[in-house]
Amino acid sequence: MTSCLLSVLFVLPLVSSIMAAVEHAGCKIRITDKGLEMLKLETQKFVEEELSNISMPEMKGEEGRFQYTISDIKIRELNLTHVDLQFIPDIGLMFDVQNSSISLTFYRQILYWFFYDTGNINASADGVNINTALNLIRDDDGRLKINNITCEARINKMRAEFSGTLGRVYDFLASILTTGMRFLLNKKICPALDHAALVHVNGMLETIPVRTEVDSYIGIDYSLIDDPVVTSRSLDMHFRGMFFELANQNDSLVNYAVDPIIREYDRMVYLALSEFFFDSGMYSYYKAGLFQTDIVNDKMSKDLEMLLRTTYFGTIMMLNPAIVEAPISLQLAVNSPPKTTIKTSGATVVMTAIVKVILLPPGLSPVQLSSMTMVFKVKLFSSFRFKIFSNLSALESLALIPLQAPLKTMLQMSVVPLINSKSLVQHLNCSECVCVCVCVCVCVCVCGFIVIGANLHFSKGLREMITGSNVTESDTNAI
């Protein structure tokens, strides 16, 4: 019994430390194999553009009495007919090209005895096979990064067609030239793709901020908290998904919320947002002082002012009849961070606020007529309900019943739009997301988190995104 107890005492701190080290994601994104179909087309275009820009060195040589120089080698066309993009479990992505072809043209200069001939050569590489594997990781700053690339390229055969006066005579040189060309092309394909992935694509990924301002009050941290999780059907990315106050960026909530779980594969992309995602946003706005307002003078409707004066007329007369005409103010301040609850029925934000009715006599100190506690629930993008009671007595709570209708109207016009406009989903957008359009979207509430599934298409190609990111980066450096 004693040994068992000692074992438990030894294991408990270890388990506690492991649990403390595990950080739940506030936001998760899943790209499914259906999403890869869209990415495959963009990847194919990008690879074709990269291979089209391959620069080939000049070739010189001798064969018997023949001396030749091959220059101005250009790739005219790529026909990537059998292309596949798929997930590699625990590694990343594989881009595979099989049985494709490449058309080239180059300029020849041939000297045979005293005959000198020049002309163009059209060549084609057939049976082009390229297999590329990308290892995806999280870098030190929390960005997605291509860690390394494994590439294998092979060209089965190459043909050349000569033109010019002595074109037919030189046909026997074709095997020599095409062998050299095939060797050079084989050696150039993988370095070109390596450079494209590790320099161009990683360069674009480095321009994506992982901490950015949402507005003048709060910012968001959507850095990756671990390496992407890759299975045969999907790629899952776990983001911190945490908002913070710009004035005090180290003051943030601890994530004790349920870790979002995405079980679906039917859509191209899934986005899961936990209660922590919304709570951290509400907490940041609360700390920034946005959930408080002072309704006075022109901000207060005449009907509400008349109702307040009628309700507290007796109190004012007992205090000082001389200040009965003084301006009246309604101060509302949320006294604790709002709490989000997500259930299958929807997402609800619960807030508690102190409402004070204050008289503002000119030249005198403000006079507090009443203090009330208001608890209200806002169903995001939907309904709103609240209750109000006096902090002084149950009798005054009964007297406040006539105030409920105008206060509810006032809150629906002021607080509810504030919460919905700050409901934070829109603030996931980064500058690069303008390249993606949502075609079909479905939202499902699960206990503790929301899952949004969507089908997408690109409004910009990968090349345009890389070019745009380079322009943005150079403009920033110039500033």
Tens of pLDDT, residue by residue over 349-387, are 888 888 889 999 998 999 998 888 888 787 765 444 545
Neighbouring C-beta atoms of residue 293, cutoff 10 Å: 18
Among 100-109, 121-130, 419-428, 470-479, the range scoring the smallest mean pLDDT is 470-479
Q: Please say whether the structural domain 292-421 has been given the CATH code 3.15.20.10.
A: yes
What's the confidence (pLDDT) of residue 71?
Answer: 87
Report the sign of the C-alpha dihedral through residues 32, 37, 41, 44, in that order.
positive
**What is the number of alpha carbons within 13 Å of residue 428 lying toward its C-beta?**
16
**Strand order across the beta sheet in which 242-245 lies:** 211-213, 218-221, 242-245
Average pLDDT on 304-326 reads 86
Among candidate residues 113, 17, 13, the one with its CA nearest the CA of residue 65: 113
Of all residues in the chain, the percent with pLDDT exceeding 70 is 75
Give rounded-to-5 percent helix, strand, coil for the chain: 35, 40, 25
Kindly list the domain boundaries of the chain, sorted by start residue. 35-206, 211-282+434-478, 292-421
Confidence of residue 122 (pLDDT cuts 50, 70, 90): confident
pLDDT, one tens digit per residue, over 146-180 is: 999 999 999 998 888 766 555 566 666 677 778 87
Domain spanning 35-206 has what CATH number?
A: 3.15.10.10
Q: What is the mean pLDDT of the chain?
A: 79
Alpha helices in 248-323 (DSSP H): 275-287, 302-311, 313-319
pLDDT, one tens digit per residue, over 20-42 is: 457 899 999 999 999 898 889 88
Burial class of residue 396, CB neighbours in 10 A (0-12, 13-18, 19+): middle
DSSP H or E segment with residue 267: none
What is the pTM for the complete model shown?
Answer: 0.77
Instruction: Establish whether domains 35-206 and 292-421 are of one fold.
Output: no
- What is the C-alpha to C-alpha distance for residues 306 and 264, in angstroms, rounded to an integer? 55
Q: Is the pLDDT score of 100 beyond 70?
A: yes
